[in-house]
A = this chain, B = another copy of it.
Amino acid sequence: MPDPETPLVRKLACYTALDPADRSCLAALEGSEVRLEPGIEVITQGMHRRYCYVLNEGWAACYKLVDDGGRQIINFSVPGDFLGLRSFLLRTADHSVVTLTEATVSQFPQERVLDLVRERPNLGAAVLWALAREEAMVVQHLVNVGRRSAIERLAHLLLELQARLAIIGRTAPDGFHCPITQDELGDALGLTAIHVNRILRQLRESGLATFARRRVEIHGYPALCDLAAFNVSYLDHHPQGMTEFPDERAAD
């Protein structure tokens, strides 16, 4: 087939092969797209809700506000990511989600997730895998914020975004588009924007990576991985790499 694959399909294909019925089932989920401006709150902390979303295009941020006016960004969402899936079984959303750029999203009733597990076990498992992977990212962020220096956190985030964008085909050999402000970076890394700026300069001056004009460029990939102690395995890409599942994609 050519490449009418959506980012979501490309991502889930990292977990398991999707048959045509699975694909049309996903196409139904992603069916009715809505276009959103930047800064639109898709999900609001504390509200009850009935829908989950797929982010088809654009960037979003999942965050929690803290009483003193600050916020902690839990994760950035890129095309192919679900919005609101993480807590679809809680009665009220424990977080908010806001678009960072113009974006298109598809809405679906959250019960569909459990239906999927019942009716199309393979696809349902793939969706829950996406959920588990997202949670693994949150855990990794907690480790970074709790136990690593500012430069390590920042380098790690850039490498994570690189890896996530790569599987949906949104990276170039020399870097990728990244419409995140330093303020947002700070809120994600548990730092102030000012300190993020200082650390970005350090990265630039050490020749490892640059982040300017909404574009990240990674110059010394191995050295950056080393600095960040980055190990992709938590993202659970590449099923073919697992010796435990030798035949998983044999029919590819």
| Chain A positions near chain B (C-beta within 8 angstroms) | 46, 48, 64, 66-67, 70-72, 74, 86-92, 94-95, 114, 117-118, 121, 124-125, 128-129, 131-133, 135-136, 138-143, 145-148, 189-190, 229, 233-234, 236, 239, 242, 244-245
Contact = CB atoms under 8 A, between A and B. Distances in A.
B239 A91 contact: yes
Contact of A129 (B74, B89, B136, B236): B89
Contact of A146 (B46, B95, B145): B145
Given A72-B147, A233-B46, A142 B132 contact: no
A132 B229 CA distance: 28
Nearest to A118: B118
A222 to B, nearest CB: 15
A74 B128 contact: no
A139 B95 contact: yes
Contacts of A135: 86-87, 135, 138
A182 to B, nearest CB: 16
Nearest to A128: B89
Contacts of A147: 66, 70-72, 190
- The quantity of this chain's copies bound in the complex is 2
Contacts of A118: 117-118, 121
Nearest to A46: B233
A230 B94 CA distance: 13
A133 to B, nearest CB: 7
A190 B146 contact: yes
A148 to B, nearest CB: 7
17 contacts: A64-B139, A64-B140, A72-B142, A87-B135, A87-B136, A89-B125, A90-B132, A94-B233, A95-B139, A114-B117, A114-B124, A117-B124, A118-B118, A135-B135, A135-B138, A142-B142, A145-B146
B90 A236 contact: yes
Contacts of A67: 229
A121 B113 CA distance: 12
